[in-house]
Every structure is written in C-alpha cells, then in structure tokens.
Amino acid sequence: MLPLDTAGLQRDAREHLLFHFTDQSVYADREIPIYTRGEGCHLYDTRGRRYIDGLSGLFCTNLGHSYGAEVGAAAAAQLGELVFTPNWYVAHPAAIALATRLAELAPGDLNRTFFTSGGSDANEAAYKLARQWHAHNGEPGRHKVISRRVAYHGTSLGALSFTGLGGMRAPFAPAAVPTHFVSNTNAYRHPLGDDEDAFCAALLTELEEAILFELPETVAMMIAEPVQNSGGCFTPPRGYWPGVREICDRYGILLVSDEVICGFGRLGAWFGATRYGFQPDMITFAKGVTAGHAALGGVIVSDRIAAPFAAGELTFMHGLTFGAHPAGCAVALKVIEIIEREDVLGNVRRNEPLMRDMLESLREVPIVGDVRGAGHFWAIELVKDQATRETFDGAEADWLLRQVLSEELADAGLLCRLDDRGDPVLQLSPPLVADMELFAETVDIVRVALRNAAKLVAAGAGAVLTTAA
C-alpha cells in the first residue's frame, strides 16, 4: 500500500468536498477527521490513531469493520455474474431473493418490497404508495402526514416535510407535503412522563385530537420510528404502539414504521415493530440492511396495500434507477446471513440490560439528567441541574458539545454523537457485534469526559464563554 499523503488529503478534502450538515468553518484551524481503515469495532485515521466506532458510523456499520472481505466477495460474485439491470419492468435473482427473505423476516403480512437507494427515498416511496392507494380507494383527499416533533425522516423534499426539525426545514419552506407534528415519546420532558400509563394516554389523546383537527379524511399516513433517534433515543411507553395502531385504523390512516435505524437488529429484533408488538402497513429501511457495506433501502408493504398494485389495477408512478442494485441486494443477503450465523440479535439482547446498568451508573455525574434507550441504541441527556432538569440551551449547549466534549471524546478515542437538535444528548450506538468489554471502555471514556465537563460547568466556564461570545 502507498504511504498516505496526509497533507494532500487534507488539502484536497478542503478544496473539493462539500460536507453534509457541516459548518466547514470549524476546519479553519483544525484538521478534518479522515479515517482510512476499520477493524472490528474500531476505525483508524490518517495518523494511525484508533477510535471506537461508537455510533456505528451513522447507525450503519452494524457488523463492525471485519466482514468487508466476505461481504465484498458476495458483491464481486454478483458483479461478475450480472452488473446491473433495473427493477423497472424486469427483475434479477438477487432482488427476488432479498425481497423473499424480507417477507420472511418482516412481521405479519408485510410481504412485498419496493427497493430504493437509501432511507429518505424509502420514506418518499411510502408516502407515494399511500397517496396512490388512498386515491384508488376513492379517497384522493388523503394527502397529509402525521409525524412527531424533532423526528428525522430524511432530507429529500418529501421526507424533509415529515422531519420535525424546524431548522432543517426552514431553508426549503414551504414543505412539499403538509405535515402535522405531534409529541414524541420523550418522557423526561413531559409533565406526565413519570407515570407511564398517564403519559401514554396523553400522547394517544393528542394524536387523536391532531387527526380530528386536520380532518381524518385528509390524512394519508402517520410516520414514526419505533424508538425515535433524534432528540435522543425516545423509547415508547407501554401500550403506545398498539394504541397508535388502533387510532390509525379507526380513522383509515396508514401506519409507516421508519426503521432506517431500528431495523435489522439495532433493538435486538429484526424490526422494532416486532419488538414493540405492532403491525405497520409499511416498514421503511436502509442503513442496517447492508450494515453499511453498500447503499440500499426500501419499503416493505403489506398485502392489503400491495393488492391493487400487484393485481395491475394501479401502476406505482415512482422509480429509482439504483433501487435494488444487484450488488446492494447481494450484499444485503450476505449481511442477513452473517447476522443469523453470528447470532447478532442474541448478542444485542444479552447486552441490553448490561449496557443499561453501566450507563445508569453515569447518573453520579452532576450533568447527567437522563439515560434512555434499548438494544444497542442509547442516549444520555445532559442538564445543568439534575433536580430541576434545567437544560443547556443555545450557545451553552454548543459550547458544551462542540468546544468541550467533542474534542475530549475524540482525543480519548471515542466516536459518538453529540446532538442538540432537541435538548443536548450524547448518543452511543455501537456495532451490534460489539461486546461488553468494548462498551465498558466506551463508558469509562464517557465518564471521564462528562466529569471534566461537569467541573467546567460548576465553575461557570460555559456561561462566561457564551456571554463573552
């Protein structure tokens, strides 16, 4: 292998890359992180420094970095056989095999898959399916969507419409799809959050009121994640999902479970819907289906929704060249095989209670307000005051996350997410093959960083800095 031209990579990245969701001014006086190699649950940068892949890239590298050769061989075999044929009018064996496999893994009668290239376009496809299906049933007026606050469902204009993050939507307003946002399942910030049943009842009442306000005959679908990522791993209260399902049924609204993160094992089951015991009309997926080895996504559709399309009464007026790319499908089939062979779901299920206990022990740090999550999907909410739950807002959160914690954690060798799209959280979402030794090391790094940050907060450093700025 050629020696790395570290300076050249830095220069060319600065001159030629347009980063996603990145304020590039942060790189004016610091290096762009450039990772060149992965092994197990670790990444290595251009200088050979090692990092724990604590967010699985972006909730993608569920098998870590050691199966690349095996998965790559499956992709190479596929490309040696057939490079490409679309899923428009025609089919190929890898797409057929993967769709068949997904029908076996998905709950209930979710038996048919429309493939996309990623998660945003999976959610767009779900919406278009819902629109055409309702119109076919004599309800063309059903065009609105119910989504949840702070939820992230993607960036293409339809998916962005369902994304409950004002800052992301603002530059592209007005939204392409009229969407009504209801509360998410953030128990920590809800007045009834300490009483699980009352909290659940309040959320369901709010959902029903929103539907009635919008007029049920104008609502096409509700979209939500089994555990909401954005805002920090909001798990559902007991009874929430069956309740949502029942309300959607009562008003003829289709329920879409966005499993772009939750699907393929993140919660210890193939799908979050299975774990929480509800039957969606559609499941959207991406990321984990290939464990990050290739770009692929899709929508798994119930027999009821698929029926008019399958019978030829309706033509789905939507298509993507690279939906069901043969290499992506071959990769996904191999990844599913490895997940089963290595009992990856079992690993997640066994780790969950141990991870919870370890993370709960962080409550001894004065700025840890809440610990929540499931499977290999966790968030720690940071607060100024544990008793009052006062949050760090605006510039303080920015200081804490971006000036204090991000460098300290990276210097200590941990990649994770520091997010203040809702209240500030630190998120950990390790590869599904990670063991408890790695997680213990992760939690140790987090503990030291949070303790140091807590000392700075107690000394008023953030307030001084943010006032000075």
Ligand X SMILES: Cc1ncc(COP(=O)(O)O)c(C=O)c1O
| Residues engaged in binding ligand X (CB under 6 A) | 118-120, 123, 152-154, 225, 229, 258, 260-261, 286, 297
Q: Are strands 368-374 and 282-285 parallel, antiparallel or unpaired?
A: unpaired
> Distance from first CA to last CA of the chain, Å, rounded?
46
Q: Which residue, among 339, 269, 256, 267, has the nearest Cα to 298 in the 3D structure?
A: 256
Phi/psi for 212 (5° steps) reads -65, -40
The amino acid occupying position 56 is: S
φ and ψ at residue 391, rounded to 5 degrees: -90, 165
| Residue 72 beta carbon to ligand X: minimum distance, rounded to whole angstroms | 21
| Nearest residue (CB) to ligand X, 240 versus 285 | 285
Cα distances (Å, whole numbers) of residue 372 to 46, 233, 382, 409, 466? 34, 6, 12, 20, 29
The angle that helices 326-341 and 344-360 make with each other, rounded to 10 degrees, is 70
Give least dist CB 31 to ligand X, A: 25
CB of 119 to ligand X, least distance (A): 2
3-state secondary structure of 285: strand
Question: Tokens 């022990």 — which residue?
Answer: 361
Q: Which is nearer to ligand X, 296 or 301 (CB)?
A: 296
Residue 41 or 256 with smaller CB distance to ligand X: 256
State in angstroms the smallest separation of the CB of 447 from ligand X: 27
Which residues share a beta bridge with 146?
180, 222
Q: Give the 3-state secondary structure of 329-393.
A: HHHHHHHHHHHHHCCHHHHHHHHHHHHHHHHHHHHHCCCEEEEEEECCEEEEEEEEECCCCEECC
Closer to ligand X at the Cβ: 119 or 236?
119
Q: To the nearest whole angstrom, how small is the minimum distance from the Cβ of residue 405 to ligand X?
A: 21
Minimum Å distance from CB 121 to ligand X? 7
The nearest distance, CB 318 to ligand X, in angstroms, is 16
